[in-house]
Amino acid sequence: MPRLLVQSCLIAILLGVLPSGCSRVDADQAAREAGVAMSAGDYAKGAKLAGKAMRAAPEKPEYGVLYGFALFENGQHLEARDQLAKTAVDAPGSFVAQYFHGWALYRLGAYGDAIVPLKNALYLKSGQDEHVPDILVLLSRCCLKQNLAAGRPYLQGLRRYRTFGDKPEVYNCLGLLHVGQGEHKLALASFEKALRLDPDNPVVLQNLAVLHDTYLGEPNEATDYYRQSLFRRNDRKDPTNQAAIRDRLRQLARERKVRD
């Protein structure tokens, strides 16, 4: 999938909910300056200014989120996690508070914990529809990491969006979920759909090889897909899994000799 929730996008979300007026000079101005600093890549300064805004206006969840995001991008992950968790608890009806709490948990590998705030964000998405695909990506990835069938509707939902509907990644991930659930024929259909969208994709080719090899008991088809994946990786100068693929091809060749 395309890289989701890039920094500029996240900052834009936050800046979009910050007040445009200057009635609360200490908080609002500090928050705007924090956003400008982070847009320039200065997250230490951004955290300092966002913290000032949050302390001046603790009732505004946007400032707590801005502070937590700045901490995270400044490498202070645990402090950011705790800050974003507190803001999400204090503001259960805030889209940005739930969204960024889930985002941080996902980034920290807490996939199971991330699902609840991300689902909350999806429920609270009114007026934020342009960010729905990003939430669906995060939710589907959290489910995929845990082999949860619940990820299927999130991936299927992504197909409605032009950015994702014609990309192989959605169908490749659907295939992986089907494999995890023991639905091998459905996995085959999903991987084949992904391959039609990108016939030279080495990841999809390898997944098809493994499916035929390990789950469908079709070594000849597996061999063909392994070879195609290896060729495409060589073509792209991508060493990923090449050694493992070659080892498996040699093993399949030996097994074929025994059968013959």
38-90 residue pLDDT tens: 888 899 999 999 999 999 999 899 999 999 999 999 999 999 999 999 999 99
**What is the per-residue pLDDT for 2?**
38
Domain ranges of the chain: 1-120
pLDDT for residue 225 is more than 70: yes
pLDDT for residue 110 is more than 70: yes
Please state which architecture CATH assigns to domain 1-120: Alpha Horseshoe (1.25)
**What is the per-residue pLDDT for 16?**
56
What is the rounded distance in angstroms from the CA atom of residue 242 to the CA atom of residue 64?
A: 46
Amino acid 220 reads N
What is the rounded distance in angstroms from the CA atom of residue 21 to the CA atom of residue 19?
A: 6
**What is the per-residue pLDDT for 22?**
44
- In the block, tokens 């342009």 appear at 130
To the nearest 10°, report the CA torsion of 180, 256, 248, 238: -100
Q: Which band of pLDDT confidence, cut at 50, 70 and 90, is reported for residue 27?
A: confident
What is the rounded distance in angstroms from the CA atom of residue 186 to the CA atom of residue 162?
A: 23
pLDDT for residue 23 is more than 90: no
Q: Hey, how many other C-beta atoms are within 10 angstroms of the C-beta on 122?
A: 21
Q: Hey, how many other C-beta atoms are within 10 angstroms of the C-beta on 117?
A: 25
**pTM summary value:** 0.74
**Which of 2-11, 76-85, 105-114, 226-235 is least confident?**
2-11
Q: Are 45 and 127 in contact (CB under 8 A)?
A: no
Instruction: Give tens-digit pLDDT for 139-178.
Output: 998 998 998 888 888 888 887 776 676 778 889 988 998 9
Mean pLDDT of the chain: 87
